[in-house]
Structures are given as structure tokens and as C-alpha cells.
Amino acid sequence: MSLVVIGSIAFDSVRTPFGTRERMLGGSAVHFALAASFFTDVRVVGPVGDDFGDAEYQVLRERGVETSDVERVEGGRTFFWAGEYGYDLNTRETLDTQLGVFGEFDPKLSDETRAADMLFLGNIQPDLQREVRRQCDGARLVGLDSMNLWIETARESLLAAAGEVDLLFLNDSEVRELMEEPNLVRAARRVMELGPRAVVAKQGEYGASLYTADRFFSLPAYPLETVRDPTGAGDCFAGGFMGYLASRDEGAADDDTELRRAMT
């Protein structure tokens, strides 16, 4: 099935206890698409500036990612994020965010994108997520990711966006924060009352938990000895999750066992 992702396409400058890298290719849509490409065909939607060059396109195209809906804005600058991670890589601080071409992004989707079977709304402003959701009204399965920034600055929009999707991906602390409920089990249940069939609570190095109507599944993360940079890990996880579902039968997302496999 066809899978479309909209989200940030970015340059990231990242500082960790192990070193510093400037302007790496990043962004939620890029991480998601690269991971999903191991399972299915993916189309990326999002704006870039004219600092986004052949080398960057090439990373996506080498994995077979369809980039014709990447909108290149002449004279514009690609979204930029700079951040620094703490000692244990579980905490990070944003040092700089420059929206660039994302500041005025008005998604003009191609017919192929509008006809997508599956859609992933990566972490961007929730009204933008809703607009894309509206245009892709034929999508049978829609996932959404967000972050604390939008909970704190656009909570009502995010709640409305969450109500229009099937799968919600959030860090566990964000599930609690969104529903203003400190207990994760209860918070996830309240999310499902809004509309989503399932909540995937990401827990960083601890793994992830899956909540469906009356069931619970938890999966520890594979223990890694060498972690250099966790940027985009959640987007890659969602990409593998949605990509797996796209590679399966049409009703896969209605089957708890398939959701558990997707998570694994």
C-alpha cells in the first residue's frame, strides 16, 4: 500500500558527549521515510530551501523514497534545528530553531499523495497536520506524532488532530501531559476516547508500550552499548511501524497481533 509522510525536512546540528556534527540531514519526515523504505514505497511531502542540494536528495532516492512532492522554495532556507544532549542522552536542550521555508508552508499535494492509502503526520504544527489529513481524505490508516512544544502552545489544535487519526505516537510523558493525567494507562485510554484506535507510548531507551481498546503490550528496547546520537529515533521507530503495516494485508492495523509485530 502507498505510504505518505509529511513532516519536517531539516538540517540538524547536534552536540552530544561524544562530539559535534553540523548541519546533518534530518527532520521527522526524513527519518521516518528512510526507516519505512525498508518495508514499502514511501512518498515524502515537505518544503526545503535552496540550500537543500543533490547530496540530500540522493540519500532519500538511494532508498527508493519518492521525492517529487518535496517542495523546493527558491531563495528559502531549509528548516534548521540545533540541540545538545546530556550525559545519559535521555535529556536534550534545543539551542536553536529556524523555521525557514516551514514558516509559510502551505501544502499543495499531488494527486498521487492525495490518493495515499496510509498517511503519517510527522511532528509539525497540528493545524498543518489537520490540513494534510483533510486533503488525504481517502487514507485508510493515519498515524500522528507530535511533541511537548505543541501540547504547550497549540493544545486544542493537537487534541482535534489526534481525534482525526487512527494511531497516535507520543513519548509517554507527552501522553500524560496531553491528557493532563499522570497515570499512563488512564491517559492512553482517554486518548482513545478522542478517536485513535491505538496509542503507542514511546519510552526512549526503555522501549515502547502499545495501548489498544482493552489490551496492553510493552516491548523493552534492544540494549545498545554504543549510542552516539538519538535524534530521530522516534521517527525511525514510527517509520518501521507504519512501513511494516503498509507491507501487510489491508486490515493489519485492526489486528492487535499485527500492531505488536509492527512495534517489534
Which residues are near a second copy by CB under 8 A?
A: 17, 87-89, 173, 176, 182-186, 203, 205-207, 209, 216, 218-220, 223-227
**Shortest distance, position 171 Cβ to a second copy, whole Å:** 12
Within 13 Å, how many C-alpha atoms sit on residue 24's CB side? 16
Helix locations, the chain, DSSP H: 28-36, 54-62, 111-114, 126-135, 148-153, 155-162, 172-179, 184-194, 233-246, 256-263
Pairwise CA distance, residues 28 & 239, whole Å: 10
Q: How far is the CB of 232 from a second copy (least distance, A)?
A: 19
Name the residue nearer to a second copy (CB basis): 68 or 218. 218
- Indicate the residue among 139 and 184 with the shorter CB distance to a second copy: 184
Looking at beta carbons only, is 104 or 180 nearer to a second copy? 180
In this complex, which beta carbon is closest to a second copy, that of residue 75 or of residue 223? 223
DSSP 8-state class, residue 66 = B
Supply the minimum distance, in Å, between the C-beta of residue 173 and a second copy: 8
CA 67 – CA 59 distance, rounded (Å): 11
Q: 252 phi and psi, to 5 degrees?
A: -55, -40
- Shortest distance in whole angstroms from residue 57 CB to a second copy: 35
| Residue number, 91 or 94, with CB nearest to a second copy | 91
Which 3 state secondary structure label does DSSP give 18? Answer: coil
State the minimum distance, in angstroms, from the CB of residue 205 to a second copy.
Answer: 7
- Contact assessment for residue 42 and residue 5, using Cβ atoms and an 8 Å cutoff: yes
